[in-house]
Amino acid sequence: MAVVKHTEADINLLARLLRAEAEGEGELGMMHVGAVGINRIRGDCSDFVGLKTIPHMIYQEHAFEAVQKGYFYQRARESEKRLARKSVKGHRQWPAKYSLWYFRPPADCPPTWYNQPHVGRYKLHCFYEPRAGECDNIYNTF
């Protein structure tokens, strides 16, 4: 059962994002990107109030570097589409399980990112969750 509404076109779009943002970090790295994106839709809080669909989440201004810089326009392969389908079904694990932000710093992960606490690193990306009491929707079980 999906945790966000989607079409097959949305799956293709999400798959392209997974590939563009984290192809070099393998399947788990791409799944972390998917979890953050789905959390942003489900959270409906902070910088992500009003995001209701996968296209809204992906094309939100300044949300993903790959969309801004053009890496996003590679086609989605079946392997990324499979991961996108898992993401919309709510598959998520630490450090992206409840994260709404991630980025790739040139060195160590800062303890906060836009005033949000660092919760973990996976390969080159640092992940950040909202502070306690903020964005409670992402903590709901499916």
- Note the pLDDT of residue 37: 97
- Which pLDDT band, with edges at 50, 70 and 90, does 10 fall under? very high
pLDDT at 142 (0 to 100):
60
Dist CA 132 CA 140 (whole Å): 13
For residue range 17-37, list pLDDT tens digits in order: 999 999 999 999 999 999 999
* pLDDT on residue 19: 95
For 83, the enclosing helix (H) or strand (E) is: helix 78-88
* Structural domain boundaries in the chain: 8-139
pTM tops 0.85, yes or no: yes
Residue with tokens 């209701």: 52
pLDDT of residue 26: 96
Q: Which of these CATH numbers, 3.20.20.140, 1.10.10.10, 1.10.10.2520, 3.40.50.2300, describes 8-139?
A: 1.10.10.2520
111-122 pLDDT per residue, tens: 999 899 999 999
Q: CB–CB of 13/54 below 8 Å? A: yes
Helix (H, G, I), strand (E, B) or coil at 118: strand
Does pLDDT of 66 surpass 90?
Answer: no
Q: What number is the average pLDDT over the span 103-132?
A: 95
Q: How far apart are CA 86 and CA 112, in angstroms?
A: 29
Work out whether strand 125-128 and strand 112-113 pair parallel, antiparallel, or are unpaired: unpaired
> How far is the C-alpha of 106 from the C-alpha of 93, rounded, in Å?
24
